[in-house]
Amino acid sequence: MSLRRFFINPTDITGETAQLTGPEAHHLRSVLRLSPGDPVTFFDGTGARYQARIEQILKDRVTATIVEHTQDLPPKVRLHLGQALLKGQKMDLILQKATELGVDAIWPFYSEHGIHKTPRDTQMERWQRIVLEACKQCDRAKPLEVHDPREITDLMTQPPPSDARLIFWEHETRQTLNEALADRATDCRSVLFLLGPEGGFSKTEVACAPQEGFIPVSLGPRIPRPETATLAATAILQYALGNLNPIPPKNQEKIPCAP
């Protein structure tokens, strides 16, 4: 069985001693009912992971001794997902699966045919919790970055740094993903790709995209649900860009423990 995983604040690690507090400590103590001597894994949100042994379990904290410290190396190509805001719990699903599939950042946006309701602070906090839980489930040491929603025009004109920009459009009939990446795959280090809402991208949005360097690409002859399209596009991109290739030895850098 894999080790139980917990997120810890970097400031709560001093040398070989870790102090787990708050909800994570409560979960370890009262839900999982772990005991002194049990092995655990800590993530600090920066890509660092710590293999540790529980030493003491108190009411307000858990003390553990770090036995190994490693640092996850960055992926070959960073993926930035531009996602139109979706209804209901579809965004929850996308955040969870995008984390598991290795997306580096998600940039939600308002679009002409999508919803325009601004997420409450509690919703943004919920999204962060979903990402952290997905990280623990899939053994990811650095969480997906969740950015505040913005207008699609702002995202197009002021995008994050990217070597390739794609917009997946259900009515694209000429350009395939392989063709779009043909001249970029070898030296590409980051990709920004846009997926639309339930109503699809508007003609104006699609017409503006190439002016800002976005290449319209097709996902095939069918029109899947938006959440299905996002997961399919993400998985295909990760494969095409080599991010799913096995890397021996494990894609981690060992850090010596402090004396």
- Domain spans of the chain, in order of start: 4-72, 78-240
For residue 182, name the pLDDT band (cuts at 50, 70, 90).
Answer: confident
Closest CA to 191 of 207, 215, 170: 215
Which pLDDT score, from 0 to 100, does residue 252 have? Answer: 53
**pLDDT mean over 178-190:** 77
Q: Tell me yes or no: is domain 78-240 CATH 2.40.50.100.
A: no
3-state secondary structure of 239: helix
Whether residue 85 contacts residue 115, with contact meaning beta carbons closer than 8 Å, is answered with yes
Residue-level pLDDT at 223:
84
Percent of the chain with pLDDT over 70: 93
Judge contact between 79 and 193, C-beta under 8 A: yes
Average pLDDT of the residues in 50-58: 94
* pLDDT at residue 158 tops 60: yes
Task: Kindly give the pairing relationship between strand 105-110 and strand 150-151.
Answer: parallel
Q: What is the mean pLDDT of residues 51-56?
A: 94
Phi, psi of 135 (to 5 degrees): -60, -45
What gap in Å lies between CA 204 and CA 217, rounded to an integer? 16
Q: Which residues of 141-161 are buried (b: 16+ CB within 10 A; e: fewer)?
A: bbbbebeebeebbebbeebbe
Dihedral, 220, 222, 228, 234 alpha carbons, nearest 10:
0
pLDDT of residue 95: 96
> 172 pLDDT band (50/70/90 cuts)?
confident
- pLDDT over 70 (residue 24): yes
Please name the residue ranges forming H helices in 5-64: 22-26
190-195 vs 145-146, strand pairing mode: unpaired
User: Tens digits of per-residue pLDDT, 92-147?
Assistant: 999 999 999 999 999 999 999 888 877 777 888 999 999 999 999 888 999 999 99
- Domain 4-72: state its class: mainly beta
H/E stretch holding 96: helix 90-100
Q: What local confidence, expressed as pLDDT, does residue 1 receive?
A: 47
How high is the pLDDT of residue 119?
Answer: 74
Mean of pLDDT over the chain: 88
Q: What is the pTM of this model?
A: 0.86
pLDDT of residue 75: 86
Band (pLDDT 50/70/90 cuts) for residue 219 is confident
pLDDT at 81 over 70: yes
Mean pLDDT in residue range 233-238: 94
Q: Provide CB contacts within 8 A for 161, sequence distance 6+.
A: 190
Overall average pLDDT of the 242-247 stretch: 78
Whether 78-240 and 4-72 are alike in CATH topology: the answer is no
At residue 218, the pLDDT reads 87
pLDDT of residue 92: 94
Q: Is the pLDDT of residue 256 over 70?
A: no
**Is the distance from CB of 21 to CB of 60 less than 8 angstroms?**
yes
**Residue 249: per-residue pLDDT:** 56
Report the distance separating Cα 195 and Cα 206, nearest Å.
Answer: 11
In terms of Cβ atoms closer than 10 Å to its own Cβ (0-12, 13-18, 19+), residue 43 is buried
Mean pLDDT of 206-228: 90
Q: Which phi and psi angles does 107 have, rounded to 5°?
A: -120, 90
* CA angle centred on 183, ends 182 and 189, rounded to 5°: 100
